[in-house]
Amino acid sequence: MEKILLVGIGDIGSHILEFAARGDNDYEWIIGDINKEKAKYVSNNAQIGAIHHGKHPNFRPIKIDLFDIVKTTDLIKKEQPIAVINCSVLHTWHLIRQLPNDLYTKISSAGLGAWLPCQLTLAMNLAQAIKDSGIHPFYINTSLSCLTNPVMGKLGLAPTIGVGNVDLIAPAVLTYISQKTRLHRSNIEIYLVCHHQHWVYPREAGYKPGAPYFLKILADGKDVTNQFDTDEVMYNSVKLYAPGIAFTTVSASSTLKNLNALVKDQDLKTHSPGPNGLPGGYPVLLNGNGAEVNLPDEITLDDAIKMNEESGKLDSIQEIQDDGTVVFTDYAHKIMKEILGFNCKSFKPSESKDLALEQIACYKKLAEQHIKN
């Protein structure tokens, strides 16, 4: 029985377990979290619910501390999972929504990439443990993979694939076009190159329009892209989702779809962010060899990468240098300095942990001042 190591039982991790418990798979799931009690109860809930579907999943909760890279490495050596899924993060993006609206709007305007140390640290530690183990599992990273995967890629730690972002937008585009044309979704095919920024611009305060993207729409095999206002399609497709975090069920579905395509060698054409450490999201082919970008003739890989790098500038990140150094945009640096008291224009990956803890401390101080119990 193949083993899957899932690390982090938050919103997406919990949904993954609930869906996996009710699905048809023969994996042994190792459920890791810093809080073993939480891992146990979330696993129990999914296993109990699965009984109603006649399913009996194999879940094993454990404690895992991603700050301890040596122990994590030893765990991976011992268990030898065929795939590792990271759902851990030090500071979840939606905490700033607890702030008064004017303050939330100002901080949101910096972009989620401004919190990259919090998004990167644990994913990078896990990637390092995987490399140090000498095992070569598929590595699926759910933590802001449009931006974290390329940093890890510069360090030789690239995940196989990410989830969400473009893979939240792509199925929404299919749904939107189907609703508008009354074509069945199975008769619609798209090729989409876009970035996390395209997901948050219609949903979160302070993001600016203008991020480049590529969208090709096929109906019954015929290119019908010119029949649509693609800016309208991109925006309105994202607006099909309810506000808040309900979309994390779709992120969980994206994760399981990618997992099965890789482990079961399905040759699946789909969309995902951060394949092999690339910035942003792309059409991809997933199989037992990993992830391969699958672009149509109208766009080259170089152009797609440049497009996503430009989009990243509207999501806080001016550039990711060859050694993995992250340079924030001037606007993101200014907002985080003035509103949060976090003064950092650039950072090396090795500085990520300390900066993440500083960001968390700055946020807690701000929250104590403005959030009423």
Residue type, 322: D
Do 309 and 327 touch, CB atoms closer than 8 A? Answer: no
Mark residue 288 as left, alpha or beta (left: phi above 0; alpha: psi -120 to 50; beta: remaining). alpha
- How confident is the model over 92-140, as pLDDT tens digits? 877 888 888 899 999 999 999 999 999 999 999 999 999 999 999 999 9
CATH entry 3.40.50.720 includes domain 3-161: yes
Enter the DSSP assignment of 209.
S
Bridge partner residues of 287 (DSSP): 290
Nearest-angstrom CA–CA distance, 37 and 177 = 44
Q: Which residue, among 189, 176, 132, has the nearest Cα to 156 in the 3D structure?
A: 132
**pLDDT tens for the chain, residues 1 to 373:** 899 999 999 999 999 999 999 998 889 999 999 999 999 999 999 999 999 999 999 999 999 999 999 999 999 999 999 999 999 999 987 788 888 889 999 999 999 999 999 999 999 999 999 999 999 999 999 999 999 999 999 999 999 999 999 999 999 999 999 999 999 999 999 999 999 999 999 999 899 999 999 999 999 999 999 999 999 999 999 999 999 999 999 999 999 999 999 999 999 999 999 999 999 999 999 999 999 999 999 999 999 999 999 999 999 999 999 999 999 999 999 999 999 999 999 999 999 999 999 999 999 999 999 887 6
- Tokens, residue 230: 């693609």
Residue type, 27: Y
Domain boundaries, the chain: 3-161, 166-245+279-314, 317-366
Chain-centroid distance of CA 291 in Å reads 15
Mark residue 341 as left, alpha or beta (left: phi above 0; alpha: psi -120 to 50; beta: remaining). left
Q: Decide: helix, strand or coil at residue 162.
A: strand
- Tokens, residue 332: 């993101």
Do 82 and 50 touch, CB atoms closer than 8 A? Answer: no
Task: Please give the C-alpha separations between residue 233 and each of 47, 227, 282, in angstroms, as whole numbers.
Answer: 39, 11, 17
Bridge partner residues of 51 (DSSP): none
Print burial letters for 15-25: b (CB count within 10 Å at least 16), e (below 16).
bbbbebbbeeb
Give me the pLDDT at residue 98, please: 87
Tokens 């619609």, residue?
188
Nearest-angstrom CA–CA distance, 151 and 305 = 14
Enter the DSSP assignment of 194.
B
Strand 268-273 and strand 317-320: pairing?
unpaired
